[in-house]
Chain A
Amino acid sequence: EPEVTQTPSHQVTQMGQEVILRCVPISNHLYFYWYRQILGQKVEFLVSFYNNEISEKSEIFDDQFSVERPDGSNFTLKIRSTKLEDSAMYFCASSLTGQGRAEAFFGQGTRLTVV
Chain B
Amino acid sequence: AQSVTQLGSHVSVSEGALVLLRCNYSSSVPPYLFWYVQYPNQGLQLLLKYTSAATLVKGINGFEAEFKKSETSFHLTKPSAHMSDAAEYFCAAFGNEKLTFGTGTRLTIIP
B103 within 8 A of partner (CB): yes
Contact A108 B51 (CB under 8 A): no
CB neighbours of B101 from chain A (8 A): 35, 42-45
User: Interface residue tally of chain B, by bracket?
Assistant: 20 to 34
Chain B interface mostly = strand
Contact B97 A48 (CB under 8 A): yes
Separation of A100 and B103 alpha carbons in the complex (Å): 20
Least CB distance, B34 to chain A, in whole angstroms: 8
CB neighbours of A101 from chain B (8 A): 32, 51
Supposing A42-B90, A43-B90, A100-B32 touch, asked if A109 and B99 sit within 8 A by C-beta, the answer is no
Separation of A93 and B44 alpha carbons in the complex (Å): 10
CB neighbours of B45 from chain A (8 A): 106
Chain B, residues 1-36, CB within 8 Å of chain A (1/0): the string is 000000000000000000000000000000010101
Least CB distance, B6 to chain A, in whole angstroms: 9
* A contact set with B: CB distance below 8 Å: 31, 33, 35, 41-45, 48, 50, 55-56, 58, 91, 93, 98-101, 103-109
7 tightest CB-CB pairs across the interface, nearest first?
A100-B32, A100-B94, A56-B97, A106-B44, A108-B43, A43-B101, A45-B98
